[in-house]
Amino acid sequence: MATEAHAAEGATGYIVHHLTPLSVGEGFWSLHLDTLFFSAVLGALFVWYFKSAAEKATVGVPSTGQAFVEMIIEFVDQQVKDTFHGKSPLIAPLALTIFIWVFMWNFMDLFPVDILPAVSSMMGMEYMRVVPSTDLNATFALSISVFALIIFYSIKIKGVLGFAKELTCTPFGPWMMPFNLLLKVVEEIAKPISLALRLFGNLYAGELIFILIALLPWYIQPLLSFPWAVFHILIITLQAFIFMVLTIVYLSMAHEDH
Amino acid sequence: MSINATLIGQMITFTLLVWFTMKYIWPPLIEAIEERKAKIAEGLAAAEKGQEEMELAAKKAADVLKEAKQQSADIVNLAQKRANEIVEESKGTAKKEGERLIEAAQAQIEQEMQRAQEQMRKEVSALALKAAGQILQQEIDKAKHKELIGKVSEQLGQA
């Protein structure tokens, strides 16, 4: 069920259309409005819901909403405590934000692929890519922020010299300095890249499958899209969880002094 | 598939979200959770302690009951013993009293008998004297034979 404008271009046109972001501007300074809009709305939804739970939080018997929020909080807290042995006011809230935000991004994947683009095309917007995690900008924004925190904490905990020493003198000792540095830089750079690409790849591929299923005759679609959607409930949660856990692991590695 | 300024916008949003979570969401919730955890732990500990105390109290109650039973048994035994004693004592008393009564009665009988004998002796002597007097009315001078009469009456009394 492709939109009119791309119906003529066939399947390829339909797929390309669905994966093209609504963007304004030219070159580097262009903005993907759909990514920005949906992630901001989802982020607002997250903080609104959790904030209202936090305001109403009581030590006594919790309401269902509070219990739900607390369950998530405790889950995240447990993950942080299992991995990170130290005190940091940032890591646990950071992990929570990543977990919920990424989960909500991914959840957009479960909306039927044509609904939101159809609505927005009625409102005059030609392109609409609703899943922020299928935008490299979104996933890299997260992973680069995490990377900045890794560098920040590495320097804060170990000092500039300590961090420099770790970069140059491990794992093979000072005589292998250039080789060590090369190894370490690759290791560090790999962290944000793998974080961002893992999330992006999973969700981009998942969305692509949904789009492909949407190209099939209507009587076959449910047979395929239903199991794929059920499977995706696992994938979206898992990807959010992986992103969160790896963030905690990387940051606790940054906190470790050798 | 291009990296562009969206990245920067997303990073800003992310920073704001993390800041907000760190400042307003995480602390009150985790505090409530920890506090409740502490409360529950306290409650569980108290319950356990209460149970222990209850067990202890039950044991104590059993002990007290046992002691009370023992005591009551002792009291009953003592009372029985005392009752036996009293019965024995009263039996003894009654026997003594009876003996005493018998003795008194015997003494009285003896006394009565003596008095009767005395009486009889007096009467017999008077009778004898009277009879003898009648027989010897003329010959016997009372004053003259007083000694003789007294001897006879004494002999009679002895008989």
Residues of B at the A interface, defined by Cβ within 8 angstroms: 1-11, 13-18, 20-22, 24-26, 28-33, 35-36, 39
DSSP string, A226-247: HHHHHHHHHHHHHHHHHHHHHH
What average pLDDT does range A174-202 have in this prediction? Answer: 91
pLDDT tens for each residue of B5-42:
899 999 999 999 999 999 999 999 999 999 999 999 99
Distance from the B47 Cα atom to the nearest Cα atom in chain A, whole angstroms: 18
Mean pLDDT over B62-67 rounds to: 96
Give the residue from A135, A208, A244, A248 with the most B CB atoms within 10 Å of its CB, the best one to mutate.
A135
In tens, the pLDDT along A15-40 reads 888 888 888 888 888 889 999 999 99
Beta carbons within 10 angstroms of residue A106's beta carbon: 27
Matching residue, tokens 């979104």: A138
Task: For residue A145, give the nearest of A108, A112, A191 by alpha carbon.
Answer: A191
Contact assessment for residue A92 and residue A77, using Cβ atoms and an 8 Å cutoff: yes
CB A69 to CB B26 under 8 A? no
Asked whether residue A104 carries a pLDDT value surpassing 70, the answer given is: yes
Q: What's the half-sphere exposure (Cβ side, CA atoms, 13 Å) at A99?
A: 23
Cα-Cα-Cα-Cα dihedral sign, residues B94, B100, B104, B110: positive
CA–CA gap between residue A248 and residue A195 (Å, rounded): 12
The DSSP letter of residue A24 is E
Choose the closest CB to B10 out of A25, A36, A58. A36
- Minimal Cβ distance to B18: which of A59, A60, A93: A93
Question: Which residues of A are marked as active site?
Answer: 194, 198, 202
Q: Is the pLDDT of residue B138 over 70?
A: no
Do residues A67 and B36 make contact, with C-beta atoms less than 8 angstroms apart? Answer: no
Look at residue B142 and tell me whether its pLDDT is greater than 80: no
3-state secondary structure of A186: helix
**Average pLDDT score, chain B:** 89
Locate the domains of chain A by residue range.
4-56+63-255
- Chain B: nearest CA to A253, how far in angstroms? 20
Check A40 against B13: CB less than 8 A apart: yes
What is the ipTM for the molecules in this complex? 0.88
Which residues 140-159 on chain A approach chain B with CB closer than 8 angstroms? 140-142, 144-145
Distance, in Å, from the CA atom of B32 to the CA atom of B102, rounded to the nearest integer, reads 101
